Amino acid sequence: MNSTISQQQTMCFKCVGSETFALTIGSCKNQIVRVLNFLILSTLFLVSNQGLSRELPNIVDDIKADMLLNEAELMDAPDTWVAWSKGGFITMGAAARGDATPIWWQPDDKSYKSSDYWHAITPWFVIYPGTQHKANNVRVKISEIKLFILKRSSNTWEHINIDNTDPTWQHHQSHVSPQTAHEKVNKRTGPDGKISYKLNSGFNPIHGGVRKFEIYGPDVKAVYARLTSELIIDDPNKPDDRADAQILVSVGADYYPDINTTIRDFAPSSWVPAATISRFGLVKRTSRIHHAATIDPPGPTKNSGSVLQDEYKTIPMSEFENNPPIIRLNSDSMCP
């Protein structure tokens, strides 16, 4: 049925079944805009999904690679009794409990070796010079330290440290040059708000991280940690010698019985076994993401002789690929 409208208005018609309705030009424009918006959004969604589908395998491959061998030899690293001097590895893995600790870790307080679950975790990093490192005018920028837990109860990934992704502590390790390990770490906050570090004259490795976070130990099914590194110039008024740099970074995570537990509580041990540690990857002039995950393969569980069997410490690679934390990273606008 035709309807009469004002002569000042241009008519357009929309047919539905056998009926014809007259619409003002304003209504037609609104419908056209809605249709165009729908088409644009649909196209963007399709392109985004195609890009993500291409991106996911690459990121998963990077995560796998970061649990393999170091990308360069570490300077004066102990190579006979520590796994990190060779590559990434898993000790406690996804088992946040005392009986997942290695047999040689023996604190005086034996309650830390029991099957009781631990309820705190912290992500960390180590900056380490390679055997070919000769540069003096370089710094390593460390940012976006992120820790994720796959929850057993929901099979979903939780970002543990959403508001705490910048380093809050750091100290020198005694490797390479024990006599200079006591020196204060050269830390700087740049114009972009990101923190960077410079190795001291003794090339002592720098160990740092963020604070501890509460977790529910029995609900931990997998752990994934990551950070971003970049090799930058220390003094722009001096020659750029980044070509002579060989600095590597590793990212990892440690459990604690609770957030108030300190290393001193584990005496005489002066360390806590890691959940997972990535390989040492080279720091580059462009930003790079380093990954650590409790996956098997390729991340072999270190044969630590723990009471708890190794099968409880990792998830299969196939499960990780089917439910990767990078899906969450993308939804939080954090995908690389």
- Interval 154-186: pLDDT, tens: 999 999 999 999 999 999 999 999 999 999 999
Q: Is residue 298 packed enough to be buried (19+ CB in 10 Å), middle (13-18) or exposed (0-12)? A: middle
Q: Are 170 and 187 in contact (CB under 8 A)?
A: yes
In this prediction, residue 11 carries a pLDDT of 36
Q: What angle do CA 239, 241, 245 make, to 5 degrees?
A: 160
Q: To the nearest whole number, what is the mean pLDDT of the chain?
A: 85
β-strand pairing of 213-214 with 281-282:
unpaired
In this prediction, residue 26 carries a pLDDT of 52
Q: What is the pLDDT of residues 98-126, one digit of tens each?
A: 999 999 999 999 999 999 999 999 999 99
In this prediction, residue 80 carries a pLDDT of 62
pLDDT-above-90 percentage for the chain: 71
In this prediction, residue 29 carries a pLDDT of 55
In this prediction, residue 58 carries a pLDDT of 80
How many Å apart are CA 276 and CA 48, to the nearest integer? 32
Mean pLDDT of 1-19: 40
- Residues forming beta bridges with residue 295, ordered by sequence position: 315
- Which has more confidence, 217 or 23? 217
DSSP letters of 255-300? EESSTT--GGGGTT--S--EEEE---EE--SS-EEEEEE-EESSSP
Q: What angle do CA 56, 220, 148 make, to 5 degrees?
A: 40
Q: What is the pLDDT of residues 245-292, one digit of tens each?
A: 999 999 999 999 999 999 999 999 999 999 999 999 999 999 999 999
Q: What is the pLDDT of residues 24-43, one digit of tens each?
A: 445 555 566 555 555 444 44
How many Å apart are CA 300 and CA 90, to the nearest integer? 6
Query: Could you tell me the pLDDT band of residue 238, with boundaries at 50, 70 and 90?
Result: very high
Domain boundaries along the sequence of the chain = 1-65, 68-331
Place of tokens 């520590």: 82
How many Å apart are CA 129 and CA 138, to the nearest integer? 12
Q: Is the pLDDT of residue 230 over 70?
A: yes
Of 141, 158, 138, give the one whose Cα is nearest residue 149.
158
Out of 79-83, 84-88, 107-111, give the one with best mean pLDDT.
Answer: 107-111
The one-letter amino acid code at 277 reads I
In this prediction, residue 50 carries a pLDDT of 41
- Torsion angle, CA of 157/277/206/212, rounded to 10 degrees? 40
In this prediction, residue 27 carries a pLDDT of 54
Q: Is the pLDDT of residue 335 over 50?
A: no
